[in-house]
Amino acid sequence: MNQKQIDQEWGSLLKSEKIFLQKAFPIREEAQWQKKVQRYVPEKLEDTLNKTFYKAFELIFEKGTVWIEKTYDKEKKEQDYKINEYAANLRDNAKSVKAFSRKARSGKILNTAISTVEGFGMGILGMGLPDIPLFLSVIHKSIYELALDYGFNYDTEEEQLFILKMIETAVLHGNELVKGNEEIDIWIEEKNAFLPDKQEQMQKASYALSKELLYLKFVQGVPIVGVLGGISDIIYQKKITDYAALKYKRRFLKKIRDGE
């Protein structure tokens, strides 16, 4: 792959990242419905959400990955990557480079559809907290598939830390978002930007999610009305996956640039 093609893809990536960050930067103002339900939200709900997200992360990393892998063909994805990589090196044109992104994009669309069914179903049934392991499982499925589409393995401790950091950063706002995004970019370039304890990073990701989704998960626990909370699953699954896609593409282009 020649340098001109890599530079073009890099420029396109930077534009997409800028759009994501500009859209996510503003600190959310509470909607009218959030102000109305605020007095009904138990004081300890955020702490309960935090612990529930943390336990869901633990479950996924300890036992859940093997079940998530049953929802897609890991071996085929690894083979597809090698085929696309060979074609890109052979043809040496822009179209072959874009094949990796097209493959990743098709997987995102399917997982968004899965999240839509999951979110609406749980919302109608009035399931807020019980929805969290499933919600995170769909997110991990999306990220795992993105990793494979771009030629990365998600089984290592280091990669799991990277995934947790992306999940945390994707739901941040303001200067916290900027700082988190910069740390990820430095890690991609130097692989030494953040090396927290895995439990610590799970806590950070859990806290960010529980803070962002507090009211939405509260109303999701109310049958029928909970559809509003269920919609949040779709929105945030897409937001987190979109962000992860940008960062895996950045890593992929760096790998090509450096001839790794």
- Asked whether the beta carbons of 166 and 154 are under 8 A apart, the reply is no
Confidence band, pLDDT 50/70/90 cuts, at residue 128: very low
- Asked whether the beta carbons of 152 and 258 are under 8 A apart, the reply is no
Q: Is the pLDDT of residue 22 over 80?
A: yes
224 torsion bin: left (phi>0), alpha (psi -120 to 50), beta (else) = left
- The DSSP code for 129 is G
- Asked whether the beta carbons of 254 and 188 are under 8 A apart, the reply is yes
Q: Give 39-68 pLDDT, tens digit per residue.
A: 555 567 678 888 989 999 999 999 889 888
Q: Give 169-204 pLDDT, tens digit per residue.
A: 999 999 999 999 999 999 998 865 566 788 999 999
pTM: 0.81
Among the ranges given (13-17, 58-62, 153-157, 219-223), the one the predictor scored with the smallest mean pLDDT: 219-223
pLDDT at 9: 87
Rg of the chain over all Cα atoms, to the nearest angstrom: 19
Confidence band, pLDDT 50/70/90 cuts, at residue 107: low
Query: Which residue bears the tokens 């090698």?
Result: 82
Neighbour tally for 30: CB within 10 Å: 11
Confidence band, pLDDT 50/70/90 cuts, at residue 2: low
Amino acid at 216: L
pLDDT at 122: 44
Q: Please measure the distance between the N-terminal and C-terminal CA atoms of the chain and give it in whole angstroms.
A: 13
pLDDT at 64: 86
Neighbour tally for 103: CB within 10 Å: 18
